[in-house]
């Protein structure tokens, strides 16, 4: 996928769900993976021509894994002229060495989001962009159906009233295959996660299930995404609804 196509998908999502307003200062959560780096490129490119002026700030929560080198990402941000903040934590030590969690993902995610949100507020940002793509939308819906018994996926725009912070997901129209293509074409400096739980989660199960469904039923992912868009996301396209999110959460 070329940058121009990525910007087209991103602008469509931003416009459809009114994700960006003039004067926004948006934190981009950088994990080091292909998704968050692709989103960094997308928002960096979009801000050059988007009619509503906004700023971006890159932030990584360093979980404390040994030998996790973020210098390639730091160099990329310097090249782009984006301020980059690394938040040092001891989350790895707490989760894997002190508490030895049998299900580490829940506690890790809670602590990571807490550290990220605090850093976001300290840098003066009012929004944070998560790099969830179309496959993530459908996988989350499958997980919700299988394990919760409800038809649900994450929202394009979410207002966190306790933090006075808005979460946006600008890559929701982008396929994971296109993210992989973008990473390869532009040689993104991906820093592979050293997490021992990586690839052994229910999220990975949903990913494998979705791949199997698509192999056996071509076009299944697009149809499921359309069902999510029609059944869950359609109210978010109403501007007044989005503007009143603070009163509904």
pLDDT one-digit tens code per residue, 50-65: 999 999 999 999 988 8
CATH code linked to domain 3-248: 3.40.50.620
Is residue 28's pLDDT more than 60? yes
d(CA 196, CA 181): 26
What is the CB neighbour count within 10 angstroms for residue 65? Answer: 14
Please name which of 244, 217, 242 lies closest in space to residue 15, comparing C-alpha atoms. 242
d(CA 244, CA 249): 9
d(CA 103, CA 229): 31
For residues 5-28, average pLDDT: 96
Domain boundaries, the chain: 3-248
Is residue 68's pLDDT more than 70? yes
pLDDT of residue 65: 84
Query: Could you give the count of Cα atoms lying within 13 Å of 52 in the half-sphere of its Cβ?
Result: 14
**Which SS3 state, helix, strand or coil, does residue 56 take?**
strand
d(CA 92, CA 236): 36
Query: Which pTM does this prediction carry?
Result: 0.89
Q: How confident is the model at residue 241 (pLDDT cuts 50, 70, 90)?
A: low
**Tokens at 151, concatenated:** 């038809």
**Which SS3 state, helix, strand or coil, does residue 71 take?**
helix
Q: How confident is the model at residue 104 (pLDDT cuts 50, 70, 90)?
A: confident
Q: What is the pLDDT of residues 215-231, one digit of tens each?
A: 999 999 999 999 999 88
């Amino acid at each position: 996928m070329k940058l121009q196509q990525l910007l087209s998908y991103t602008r469509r999502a931003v416009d459809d769900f009114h994700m960006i307003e003039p004067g926004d200062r948006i934190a981009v959560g950088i994990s080091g993976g292909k998704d968050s780096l692709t989103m960094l490129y997308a928002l960096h490119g979009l801000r050059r021509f988007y009619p509503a002026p906004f700023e971006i700030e890159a932030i990584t929560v360093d979980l404390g894994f040994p030998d996790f080198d973020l210098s390639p990402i730091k160099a990329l941000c310097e090249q782009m002229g984006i301020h980059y903040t690394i938040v040092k934590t001891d989350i790895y030590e707490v989760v894997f060495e002190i508490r030895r969690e049998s299900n580490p993902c829940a506690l890790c995610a809670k602590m990571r989001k807490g550290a990220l949100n605090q850093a976001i507020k300290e840098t003066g940002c009012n929004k944070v962009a998560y790099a969830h793509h179309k496959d993530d939308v459908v996988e989350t819906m499958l997980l919700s159906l299988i394990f919760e018994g409800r038809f649900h996926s994450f929202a394009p725009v979410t207002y966190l009233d306790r933090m006075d912070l808005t979460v946006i997901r600008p890559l929701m129209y982008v396929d994971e295959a296109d993210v992989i293509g973008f990473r390869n074409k532009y040689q993104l400096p991906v820093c592979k996660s050293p997490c021992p739980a990586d690839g052994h989660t229910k999220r990975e199960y949903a990913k494998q299930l979705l791949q199997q469904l698509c192999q056996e039923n071509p076009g299944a992912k697009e149809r499921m995404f359309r069902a999510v868009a029609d059944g869950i996301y359609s109210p978010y396209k109403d501007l007044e609804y989005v503007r009143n999110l603070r009163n509904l959460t």
